[in-house]
Amino acid sequence: MRPAHPGRPLLLALALCLGCQRASSAAPPGAADAPACAPLSAAAAAEPSQPLPPLDLTLGAPGEPAPADEIAFSHKAHAGDCRIPCLACHVYATTSPVAGIPSGRKCMGCHKFVAKEKPGVRILAARVKAEQPLRWRRVFTLPDFIYFSHRAHLRSKAKLECKDCHGDIAAEKVVRQETPFTMGRCLTCHEQKKAPRDCTTCHR
């Protein structure tokens, strides 16, 4: 085991922890889900040459609507038109209960060269340059008392694919949750696929 790196900021970790603490959660929250898209916000229009104000990463009062994403990210453009496979960005999906969201740097891996002048990408660049985290609105959520494992589903005999639960994201400019994650939906599928239907499979 390698020693930890004290100096390194673990912002996702922080957010996740805050998240799951607030969520009083069994489920690894957040990262399981694809980032949401929203119409271009005022911040996006702002000239990225001047530094952007850091985002508020606190959770805010329960129930308040989350502010729109400042980057109009389109899954259609990436997964659809450019045919980037889901796992290229959501790298942890097969190794962890959590799928994970690409870091700003990972985005820049391509956007150093691609579509540099697009307003969204300029904001991205500015954030990454300033070592500020990005912030996405979450679309897909599970109740806090559910344990869900991406790796278990993706590597199961049932040969599941992302779209089986998340819908055809590649076709969606703005991701919506077409069908809600209800217990009934999970159970029906588990029944068809001969997967365990024991309560404790998900409730822990």
Using CB under 8 A, pick the residue from 30, 70, 124, 172 that binds other proteins: 30
Regarding 114 and contact with other proteins (CB under 8 A), the answer is no
Tokens of 25: 């959660």
Regarding 54 and contact with other proteins (CB under 8 A), the answer is no
When asked if residue 1 is in the footprint of other proteins (CB under 8 A), the reply is: yes
Per-residue mark of binding to other proteins, 70-109 (x: CB under 8 A): ----------------------x--xxxx-xxxxxxx---
**Of 152-171, which residues contact other proteins (CB under 8 A)?**
152, 155
Q: How far is the CB of 73 from other proteins (least distance, A)?
A: 11
Q: Is 146 helix (H, G, I), strand (E, B) or coil?
A: strand
Residue 26 binds other proteins (CB under 8 A): yes
Instruction: Tell whether residue 144 is a contact of other proteins (CB under 8 A).
Output: yes
35 strand-pairing partners: 138
Apex 147 CA angle, 60 and 80, nearest 5: 75
Binder of other proteins out of 51, 54, 60, 85 (CB under 8 A): 60
Are the CB atoms for 170 and 79 separated by under 8 Å? Answer: yes
Give the angle 86-166-39 at the CA atoms, nearest 5°.
85
| Greatest extent of the chain over all pairs of C-alpha atoms, in Å | 56
DSSP state of 171: G
Q: How far is the CB of 129 from other proteins (least distance, A)?
A: 10
